[in-house]
Amino acid sequence: MEGRQVAASPEPGSLPRARQGAEPQRLLTTLLGDYWFWRQEHIPSAALVRLLEEFGITATSARAALRRLASRGLLTSSRNGRTTAYGLPPRAYDVIVAHMRRLLTFGAATPRWDGKWTVVTFSVPEDQRATRRALRDGLRLLHFGMVFDAVWVSPHDKTDEAVELVRRLGVRGAAVFRAREVADDDLDPVPARAFDIAALRARYARFIDTHRPVAERLAMSSPCPAEALRLRTAIMTDWRVFPAIDPDLPAELLPAGWPRDEARRLCVRIYDSLGEPAEQRFREILAEFAPELAGLAAHHTFTQVSALESPATRRHTSFDETTDRDRLDLLAGGGLTG
């Protein structure tokens, strides 16, 4: 067993709790990620409100979503006379690229397992309940599962991430180590105790049941651009939940007939096939308010994004950054095919 005691950082910090935006916020970030990927230009707020109206979102709710996203630093605003416009913050570009690549490559392969677990154990005094809650929330974000109240595990080697978390929170009584489970027929296996596999399986099954009829209908006829935009956005909005809730367990820890592969194939089929007509509708709406920007909108596919190297996951040289920017410009212009 390999382990290390974790020393507290000299200045304990706090980890913000995970937030899941309201539906208009999720829709808007999905739309911008799908058709305004890596663009620096700002889009008039009226155009963004009109886009959300395509999905039954009222103008009041749409404007509130814009303000909330801006207050969270996920959008930046600008003014030209009486016109307010919003765009993606330049400082967030690398994060956005990494997020999109993670979203569209998630589930493409099942990870290999070396048979070891990353284990985090801790003891936090009762008068530091906020820190204890933040630690648990942070471990959930890292896809650790809770075996016991103060024993959390992951089948992936996440020692560095776990150590950084406990140091950031200033937790003194914590240990992070790698270990193997000792099998015993009288004990419940670790995966069953640490992860709600049944609930996750049911979530994938609902995804398949919801979107399979769409795929069957698309095989018979092509939708109009407005319907294509709604259908494509709906499936991506639903799919984007899975990288956050699925711990990506190795095949050895999953039951037979695990439905993620089927769900992903369905998502790829619908999302990629509807790209062109959905992009057309996005451009039509944008042209009503900013004709000069409409031609900049572009869709991408699972294959295209999977081909990109994520600039947020590796060390750069100036040449690397230029290369990535060039490739992303090609993607935005529709010139990157794989």
- Measure the CA–CA gap between 237 and 231, rounded to whole angstroms: 10
Q: Is 166 exposed, middle or buried (0-12, 13-18, 19+ CB in 10 A)?
A: buried
Q: Are 239 and 108 in contact (CB under 8 A)?
A: no
pTM metric for this prediction: 0.78
Residue 178, strand partner residues: 2, 118
pLDDT in tens, the chain (338 residues): 445 444 333 332 222 233 333 489 989 988 998 999 778 899 999 999 999 999 999 999 999 999 999 998 889 999 988 899 999 887 766 666 777 788 889 999 889 999 999 999 999 998 899 999 999 999 999 999 999 999 999 999 999 999 999 999 999 999 999 999 876 665 678 888 899 999 999 999 999 999 999 999 999 999 999 999 999 999 998 999 999 999 999 999 999 999 999 999 999 999 999 999 999 999 999 999 999 999 999 999 988 877 765 444 333 322 233 333 333 333 333 333 33
Please spell the DSSP secondary structure of 150-212, one letter per residue: TEEEESS--HHHHHHHHHHHT-SSEEEEEEE----TTS--HHHHH--HHHHHHHHHHHHHHHH
Where do the domains of the chain lie, and which CATH numbers do they carry?
2-14+112-194 (3.30.70)
